[in-house]
């Protein structure tokens, strides 16, 4: 069974994330969305909320599993018996950081490969940090995230 792991903080999960999960789900038997504990305390939501939101937003993707992790990604990959990491590349500016991550993961676990997907054009400019900033300043984020995420962000502001 081919399993791919899509790690990230998903703080919050965006339409760009959803696009990549849906596309990966057509290629792989199983997509594990691995929600990382955010060591940077400046995020929007605690880990439990991020996992819950991802589960709600991705409920329609039958072969997706959503879980959290708080260890090295390569250790998590071994626990899940997965050998492919999914990473998104929105722009050339993402490449250097993603290349560095892929190289380090390959050094730590040579049997694990990284696969890159680019989001659909309409999602290429969306990032969780921009969504948090726009929402925090009272802007409309409905074009960028699922309605349940909008509701959660609004609840956070009140």
Residue of 87, 127, 128, 135 with catalytic role: 128
| β-strands 84-88, 30-36 pairing | unpaired
128 assigned to active site: yes
Residue of 23, 78, 90, 106 with catalytic role: 90
Longest CA pairwise span in the chain (Å): 47
Q: Which residues contact 108 (CB under 8 A, 6 or more apart)?
A: 72, 74
Domains belonging to the chain, first-starting first, are 3-157 (3.40.50.620)
pTM value? 0.94
Residue of 17, 50, 87, 146 with catalytic role: 17
87 assigned to active site: no
Helix H or strand E segment including 74: helix 73-80
What 3-state DSSP class applies to 33?
strand
Instruction: Tell me how far apart the alpha carbons of residues 51 and 147 are, in angstroms, rounded to a whole number.
Output: 16
**Chain length of the chain:** 158
Task: Give me the tens of pLDDT residue by residue for the chain, a chain 158 residues long.
Answer: 699 999 999 999 999 999 999 999 999 999 999 999 977 656 889 999 999 999 999 999 999 999 999 999 999 999 999 999 999 998 877 889 999 999 999 999 999 999 999 999 999 889 999 999 999 999 999 999 999 999 999 887 65
């Amino acid at each position: 069974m081919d399993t791919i792991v899509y790690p990230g903080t998903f703080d919050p999960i965006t339409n760009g994330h959803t696009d990549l999960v849906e596309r990966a789900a057509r290629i792989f038997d199983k997509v594990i969305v691995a929600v990382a504990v955010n060591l940077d305390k400046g995020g929007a939501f605690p880990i439990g909320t991020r996992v819950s939101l991802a589960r709600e937003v991705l409920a329609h993707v039958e072969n997706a599993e959503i879980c959290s992790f708080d260890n090295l990604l390569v250790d998590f990959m071994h626990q899940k018996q997965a050998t492919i990491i999914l990473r998104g590349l929105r722009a050339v500016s993402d490449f250097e950081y993603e290349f560095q991550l892929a190289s380090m993961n390959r050094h730590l676990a040579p049997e694990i490969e990284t696969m890159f997907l680019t989001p659909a054009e309409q999602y290429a400019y969306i990032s969780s940090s921009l969504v948090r900033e726009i929402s925090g300043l009272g802007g409309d984020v409905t074009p960028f995230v699922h309605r349940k995420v909008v509701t959660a962000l609004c609840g956070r502001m009140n």
